[in-house]
Amino acid sequence: MKKRILGADLEVSAIGLGCMGFTQSYPPYPDKKEAINTLRKAVELGVTFFDTAEVYSMFRNEELVGEALKPFGNDVIIATKFGYDMANIQFEGTARPIELSSRPETIRKAIEGSLKRLKRDNIDLYYQHRVDPNVPIEIVAETLSDLIKEGKVLHWGLSEAAPSTIRRAHKICPVTAVQSEYSLWYRNAEAELLPTLEELGIGFVPFSPLGKAMLTGRFDARTTFDKSDFRSTIPRFMEGNLQHNIELVDYISELAKQKATTPARIALGWLLAQKDWIVPIPGTKRVERIEENIGGADIEFSSDELSLIKKHLDSIEIIGARYPEEQERLTGR
C-alpha cells in the first residue's frame, strides 16, 4: 500500500478504513468475531489508518476497533473523535446523542474513555466531531495543545468545520487533518476548504468518498432502503432524486470500463489525484470490498483526463441534500 502524509508528519496508508458501519447506520452488522477478523485482514492488506468515534454506537465501535487492532500496536494509526456530551445521552434515530459539547472538562473525560476502549497510551489523531457553537474554537485548541503536551494526543483535527474556524484553531495549535465529505458527487470542498488546507499545510480526510456506496454502482433507479438504513433519511437517495442521480453513476461506470477497473476504484483514484495530501476513508464491512477499495490507490489519471472529468461533472446536476436538514445544521461552522 502506498503511503501519504497528513499535516507535517503523520504517515498513513493512502486509503484508510472508516469503521462506523461495523456497528451503526448501515445494517446488517457482522458479529464481533467476523468484524475483528475483517479489521485484522485490512491491516494484512496494507491499511494502516482506521477511523472511529466515541459516539458511534455509544462507545461500542471504539471497543471493537480497540480489541481488533491491539495486536498491531503503533503499526496502525487510529483516529477517533470527541464533541458530544456522553454523560447526558439522548437518543434520536440512529441512537446518537444530540447535545454537542467541547468544554475542556468534556474533552478530558472523553479522551480517558477513548484511551481505555482503544487500548492505547495515546490517540494518534483526535478530531473534534462537530464544532460546538457554545465553546470558542480557541479554547478547544488550547485544550488539545495541553493534551498533546501531556502525551495523550499525538495529532488533532476538525470534522466538518468551516475554513474560518480551521484558521482560528490552527493559530493556537497546528491542525494535522480536517475530515469532511468529498467525492465525485459532493464537491463543495473544492470552493474554499481545499485551498485553505493547502495554504496551511493541513491534510484532508474525505469521508463518504464512495457517496455512501452510491458510486460503487451497486444501486439502480429501483433501489429502496429499509428505514433502519441511514440512507433512507438522506434526500439524495429518496424516490425521484435517486432516479435522477443515477446519471452520475452511469458516467463513472463508463470511466471504469475505459480503464478496465471498477467504479469504486475510479471514485477513490480520482480523489487521490486531486491532491497528494488527501486520504479517503471508505467504509465497508467486507474483506472483498477492502481489497477492491485499496486498488483505487493504483488508478492513475492524466491531466487531460482529469480536465475532461471535471468538465463532465460540472454538467451533471445532483438533486437532493447530502444530509437530513437537522444534521446539516451541525456542519460548516
The per-residue pLDDT for 250 is 95
Residue 93: band (very low, low, confident or very high) from pLDDT cuts 50, 70, 90? very low
CA 212 to CA 218: how far, in whole Å?
Answer: 11
**Mean local confidence (pLDDT), 201-215:** 96
d(CA 78, CA 103): 23
Section 193-222 average pLDDT = 95
* Percent of the chain residues past pLDDT 70, beyond the cut: 97
What confidence score (pLDDT) does residue 92 get?
46
- Reported as a single tens digit per residue, the pLDDT across 233-288 is 999 999 889 999 999 999 999 999 999 999 999 999 999 999 999 999 999 999 99
Q: Report, as an integer, the average pLDDT of 56-78.
A: 96
Q: Which residues contact 100 (CB under 8 A, 6 or more apart)?
A: 83, 84, 85, 130, 131, 132, 133, 134, 330
Q: Tell me what pLDDT residue 86 has.
A: 86
Active site residues: 56
Q: Give me the sign of the Cα torsion angle 256, 260, 265, 270.
A: negative
Q: In terms of C-beta distances under 8 Å and separation of at least 24 residues, what long-range contacts does 27-34 make, across chains too?
A: 27/226, 27/228, 27/229, 29/285, 30/285, 32/64
Q: Which residues, 6+ apart, have CB-to-CB distance to 66 below 8 Å?
A: 117, 118, 119, 120
Using one digit for the tens of pLDDT, what is the confidence trace for 27-37? 899 999 999 99
Task: With 0.75 as the threshold, say if the pTM is over it.
Answer: yes
Decide the pairing of beta strands 49-51 and 17-18: parallel
Domain architecture of the chain: domains with CATH: 3-212+263-301 (3.20.20.100)
Q: Using one digit for the tens of pLDDT, what is the confidence trace for 130-150?
A: 999 999 999 999 999 999 999
